[in-house]
């Protein structure tokens, strides 16, 4: 089923853009967002960038073991965040979506708690760092095996269709994920079932060190949608408004029963894949610099300044305010203290079976013998 869109054409060769690189409005429609919403979008872009810096610092201090930077992806993630109905729709993010979960309002103390595996972590330290999840906000906990979250996301969307309430699922992933069998099985099933799901590829052109040309012979990701009977959109992922408007339309269509869509957001990750690799070994510095020059924060700021909505004073005040929030949230997450290892016995069975009780008792003995509190 190919949906009929008024605003955006699927399968265009050039990415959909709303702002040009100088921050001037170039779309053939007018902005219908309030000044307050535009400022909030910018706030979320800066929030994502500053969280990233803070997490990298925590990793360097040895307080967390793993960080997957989202710098360069903020335009895409803030665009998605503002298009979903938080708490109604379901999100199936991936590990690089820190800005996305922060922008939908996941409390920063929980975000830092998750990174530190402290008592502020709602997942009780049982996930890898950079693997958020929230029942309250309908965020499926991030799955480490690449693309393994795609089939359950499609299952969720099919259940939404059966329930008939008009809720939608949004599932994000990187370009590397599109080479996995799970990805193809899930996207195919969504197409066959007309499931209300939007697949979003944050295409940063690398899966760790494997570049896009070695990932696929398709020359792009959006075009793969044709094979699965859904529209595919290529969007400038460094343009938050382009990401927002495309997402808003495809989500509205999925809500109305027009089926799934695939959105490819052309982004770039500024940093390494994670805190565990050296990106200078597999990509040229000039390429990184060229993408940084297209920065989503700088571009959107120029637009706001041109509209009389922003200036140096607002920038300074915003950065100070966010820094204060990050100081407070990271300090609170750390002060909560580490999770007690013994919680690994909890939350699996409603009533603990005898063999686990025995193991827990043995564990307590070992701890007491080692002089630890148990």
Ligand X SMILES: Cc1ncc(C[n+]2csc(CCOP(=O)(O)OP(=O)(O)O)c2C)c(N)n1
Going by their DSSP bridges, the two strands 169-174 and 197-203 should be labelled as parallel
Going by their DSSP bridges, the two strands 261-266 and 197-203 should be labelled as parallel
Residue 276 found at the interface with ligand X (CB under 6 A): no
Q: Which is nearer to ligand X, 121 or 175 (CB)?
A: 175
Per CB under 6 A, contacts with ligand X among 339-358 are: none
State in angstroms the smallest separation of the CB of 296 from ligand X.
16
Residue 145 found at the interface with ligand X (CB under 6 A): yes
Residue 174 found at the interface with ligand X (CB under 6 A): yes
State in angstroms the smallest separation of the CB of 271 from ligand X.
11
Could you confirm whether 269 is annotated as catalytic? yes
State in angstroms the smallest separation of the CB of 282 from ligand X.
12
Edge-to-edge strand list for the sheet holding 197-203: 90-92, 169-174, 197-203, 261-266, 232-236
316: closest CA among 328, 308, 324, 306? 324
Interface with ligand X (CB under 6 A), residue from 74, 109, 121, 175: 175
Residue 144 found at the interface with ligand X (CB under 6 A): yes
Q: Which is nearer to ligand X, 148 or 359 (CB)?
A: 148
Q: Which is nearer to ligand X, 161 or 273 (CB)?
A: 273
Q: Which is nearer to ligand X, 19 or 100 (CB)?
A: 100
Could you confirm whether 282 is annotated as catalytic? yes
Backbone angles phi, psi at 261, to 5 degrees: -150, 160
Secondary structure (DSSP) of 207-263: ETTEEHHHH-SSSSSGGGGGGGTS-EEEEETT-HHHHHHHHHHHHHHHHTT---EEE
Q: Which stretch binds ligand X (CB under 6 A): 144-152, 184-192, 341-349, 361-369?
A: 144-152
Q: Which is nearer to ligand X, 175 or 249 (CB)?
A: 175
Here the tokens at position 329 are 């949230």
Residue 25: DSSP 8-state:
B
Could you confirm whether 294 is annotated as catalytic? no
Which of 73, 269, 294, 299 does the annotation list as catalytic? Answer: 269
Alpha helices (runs of H) in the chain, residue ranges in sequence order? 35-60, 74-83, 98-103, 108-116, 150-163, 181-193, 212-215, 240-255, 285-292, 296-306, 312-335, 354-369
Residue 204 found at the interface with ligand X (CB under 6 A): yes
Q: Which is nearer to ligand X, 273 or 299 (CB)?
A: 273
Give the number of other CB atoms < 10 A from CB of residue 275.
Answer: 19
Cβ-contact 202, 173 below 8 angstroms: yes
Q: Which stretch binds ligand X (CB under 6 A): 160-168, 174-182, 284-292, 317-325?
A: 174-182
3-class SS string, 49-85: HHHHHHHHHHHHCCCCCCCCCCCCCHHHHHHHHHHCC
Interface with ligand X (CB under 6 A), residue from 22, 26, 136, 208: 208
Q: How many residues bind ligand X (CB under 6 A)?
A: 15
Which of 273, 294, 299, 301 does the annotation list as catalytic? Answer: 273
**Positions in the binding site for ligand X (CB under 6 A):** 96, 144-146, 173-177, 202, 204, 206-208, 273
Residues with active-site annotation: 269, 273, 282
């Amino acid at each position: 089923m190919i949906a009929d869109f008024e605003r955006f054409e699927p399968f265009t060769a050039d990415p959909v853009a709303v702002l040009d690189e100088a921050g001037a409005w170039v779309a053939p429609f007018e902005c219908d967002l309030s000044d307050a919403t535009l400022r909030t979008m910018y706030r979320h872009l800066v929030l994502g960038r500053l969280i990233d810096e803070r997490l990298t610092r925590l990793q360097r201090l040895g307080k967390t073991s793993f960080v997957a930077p989202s710098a360069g992806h903020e335009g895409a993630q803030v665009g998605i965040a503002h298009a979903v109905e938080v708490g109604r729709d379901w999100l199936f993010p991936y590990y690089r979506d820190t800005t996305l979960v922060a922008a939908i309002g996941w409390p920063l103390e929980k975000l830092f708690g998750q990174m530190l595996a402290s008592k502020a972590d709602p997942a009780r330290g049982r996930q890898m760092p950079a693997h958020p999840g929230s029942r309250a906000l309908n965020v499926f906990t991030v799955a480490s095996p690449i693309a393994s979250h795609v089939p359950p996301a499609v299952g969720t969307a099919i259940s939404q269709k059966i329930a008939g309430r008009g809720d939608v699922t949004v599932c994000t992933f990187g370009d590397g994920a599109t080479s996995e069998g799970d990805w193809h099985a899930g996207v195919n099933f969504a197409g066959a079932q007309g499931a209300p799901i939007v697949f979003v590829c944050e295409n940063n052109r690398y899966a760790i060190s494997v570049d896009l040309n070695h990932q696929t012979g398709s020359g792009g990701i959006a075009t793969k949608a044709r094979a699965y009977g859904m529209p595919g959109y290529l969007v400038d992922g460094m343009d938050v408004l382009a990401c927002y408007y495309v997402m808003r339309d495809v989500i509205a269509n999925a809500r109305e029963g027009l089926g799934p869509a695939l959105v490819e957001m052309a982004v770039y990750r500024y940093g390494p894949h994670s805190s565990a690799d050296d990106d200078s070994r597999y990509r040229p510095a000039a390429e990184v610099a060229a993408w940084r020059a297209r920065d989503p924060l700088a571009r959107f700021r120029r637009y706001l300044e041109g509209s009389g909505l922003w200036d140096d004073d607002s920038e300074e005040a915003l950065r100070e305010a966010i820094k204060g929030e990050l100081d407070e949230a990271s300090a609170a997450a750390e002060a909560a203290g580490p999770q007690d290892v013994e919680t690994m016995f909890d939350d699996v069975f409603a009533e603990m079976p005898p063999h686990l009780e025995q193991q827990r008792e043995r564990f307590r003995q070992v701890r007491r013998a080692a002089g630890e509190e148990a």
